Amino acid sequence: MILYGLALSSPCNKVRFLLHALDIPYDFQIVNPLSGEGQSPAHLQRHPAGKIPVLDDDGFLLFESNAILRYLANKTETSFYPANPQARALVDQWLDFASIYIGDGMARVFYNRRLAPMLNREPNEALIADGLTTLDRFLPPFDQQLSKQAYLAGAGLTIADFNLLAILDPAEVAQIDLTPYPSLQQWRDGLRTRDFYTRCHKSYADAVAAMKAKT
Ligand SMILES: N[C@@H](CCC(=O)N[C@@H](CS)C(=O)NCC(=O)O)C(=O)O
């Protein structure tokens, strides 16, 4: 199995967390959109818009990180994506809810606070403010959910957790304060000590430092 992507990319990292948790060996091939590699003819053959991640499972190409999570989970019949229709629907609900709102808010803040300066682009303060407003509105339901149960969709770890963990991984480096959300923080602190996470990186800040050292 080959995963095309970058260690700084949350959509890539959610897939890497799942691959590690399932103990599936994979070849992580770096495609760095920040340096234009996404638009290379080779990568455009894999993804029509040149985005990452792309999974290559023995010639079967798949993009969109949530589709990749579901594919890998279906293929392995793992409890990370329960078969019972209602249990599965709740996983999908928390997966989509996080991707749409938390993913969007985080992306606006992270891009403008961290990536724009790295690319010598002017940060857009209005988008940062908008992202923070989105996070202020949508993080509380996640904190409430995690105050009631160990994981987003119930008592067991699921792909919804890998998704949110990867989305929130850049919080520190993007100076996003999660202290108002104690249950969310506790959930995240616990998952960050797990094998599937530490096999990926020690911390997100470490992944950023490793990338800077290489460039
Ligand atoms: N919804 C997509 C988002 C993919 C995405 O936007 N990836 C970024 C890196 S995190 C990318 O490839 N950006 C380069 C570009 O948009 O050309 C997914 O979850 O896979």
Q: What pLDDT, on the 0 to 100 scale, is given for residue 215? A: 67
> Mean pLDDT, to the nearest integer, of 88-112?
98
- Mean pLDDT for all residues in the chain: 97
CA 214 – ligand 1 centroid, Å: 21
CA 79 – ligand 1 centroid, Å: 27
CA 197 – ligand 1 centroid, Å: 21
Tens of pLDDT along 102-132? Answer: 999 999 999 999 999 988 999 999 999 999 9
Tens of pLDDT along 9-22? Answer: 999 999 999 999 99
Q: What pLDDT, on the 0 to 100 scale, is given for residue 20? A: 98
Ordered structural domains, the chain, with CATH = 2-79 (3.40.30.10), 85-198 (1.20.1050.10)
In this model, does residue 36 exceed pLDDT 90? yes
The span from the first CA to the last CA of the chain, in angstroms, equals 27
DSSP state string for the chain: -EEEE-TT-HHHHHHHHHHHHTT---EEEE--GGGTGGGSHHHHHH-TT--S-EEEETTEEEESHHHHHHHHHHHHT-TTS-SSHHHHHHHHHHHHHIIIIIHHHHHHHHIIIIIHHHTT----HHHHHHHHHHHHHHHHHHHHHHHHSSBTTBSS--HHHHHHHHHHGGGTTTT---TT-HHHHHHHHHHTTSHHHHTT-S-HHHHHHHHHHH-
CA 148 – ligand 1 centroid, Å: 32
Ligand 1 is surrounded, with C-beta below 6 A, by 9, 11, 33, 38, 50-53, 64-65
Q: What pLDDT, on the 0 to 100 scale, is given for residue 119? A: 86
Return the best residue to mutate from 51, 167, 169 for the ligand 1 pocket (most ligand atoms within 8 A of CB).
51
Tens of pLDDT along 146-197? Answer: 999 999 999 999 999 999 999 999 999 999 999 999 999 999 999 999 999 9
- Of 31-35, 99-103, 183-187, least confident by mean pLDDT is 31-35
